[in-house]
Each structure stands twice: as structure tokens, then as C-alpha cells.
Amino acid sequence: MSRAPVTTGIVVVTVVIHLLSWLWPPLWEQLFEIFSLANRLVTDGQWWRMFTVTLLHSQGVMHVAFNMLALYNLGPQVEQGLGPLRFGLLWGACAVAGSAFFIFLGDPNAVAVGASGAVFGLLGVWLASAVRRRKTPLGRSLLKQLGFWLVINAALPLIVPNLAWEAHLGGLLAGFGLGWIWRR
């Protein structure tokens, strides 16, 4: 990922925050109070939570591992294609879209953590690229792969409790839209 500085930076910062929070639980409590996506607090004006939610993950290792592995796999090629600035803007826009969907479609008192909305935004960019290339062998293959992962991720909220499907949907739609526009 040496040619993907934003992707690398997000992974490193998120993992360091997670490790420090795991080693020192009071830090997790403070970060959660200040940076989690608390719907009521965002609607009361604490808008930064729509971005900072991507840096926090639940205490278990699986949540941060899945999100960072997905970012590590989806991010570098997108960042290399867009450049660091546009990739950073894409990440932020997908995080905000995911957060907005979570706020408007979810419980007004709900609280969430994780980078899933932004990660699904990257999946949306890949999906837009695959749809544009659907008449080529590479495009068809990519569509099959992405379709498989989308079906699995659509089913996960039915099996795993407390997954923010609203954030997934918002990020995916934002990423698809931006990916479609930027490819033009």
C-alpha cells in the first residue's frame, strides 16, 4: 500500500486507536463519548461524529479486522486511480452518507461505531466500475464477485445483531454514485 497514503493512514490510525483502547479501557470510553455516531447528538449539532465514527470499532477484534481488511483490499486501487485528495473526499463523503442513512432510517436514540459506511462506499465505486465494464470479461467477472459479496453483506444483518445496515446502504449508494460520476 505504499502508493496509497490515505488508505494506509486510515488503517494505521484506526488500528492504533483500537489497540490503545483495548489496552486502556478508559480511553475507549472517552473516545466513544466524543466520537461515536450518536443520532440524537448529531441532530443536536455534533456533526463531526458523522466522520469520526469511522475511527472507532467495537471492543472485539473482529469488527476492526473485517473493516480494515476490506479497506486494505478495496482502497489502494481506488486511491491510485483517484489520487489521495479525491480518495480522501470519497472516503469522507461515503462516511457521511452512511451516517446520514443511519440517522434518518434508524432509531433516533441509536449509537454506532465503525467504518462500514465508508467501506461500503468503496464497494460502490467498484460496483460502478463493474457495471460500466459489464460487456467485457473483466467486468462480468467483477460483477459476479461483487454480487456475491453484496448478497452476503445484505444477509448479515439478519444473522448478526447490531449491524448498521442503514450505514452500509448509504455508503454503497454514495460510492456507486461518485464512482459513476468520476468515471465519466
| Residues with active-site annotation | 116, 168
Q: Which of 105, 100, 75 is nearest to 90 (CA)?
A: 75
DSSP-assigned letters across all residues of the chain: -TT-HHHHHHHHHHHHHHHHHHH-HHHHHHHHHHHSEEHHHHHTT-TTHHHHGGG---SSHHHHHHHHHHHHHHHHHHHHHH-HHHHHHHHHHHHHHHHHHHHHHS-TT-EE--SHHHHHHHHHHHHHHHHHTTTSHHHHHHHHHHHHHHHHHHHHHHHSTT--HHHHHHHHHHHHHHHHHHH-
- State the burial class of residue 122 (Cβ atoms within 10 Å of its Cβ: 0-12, 13-18, 19+): buried
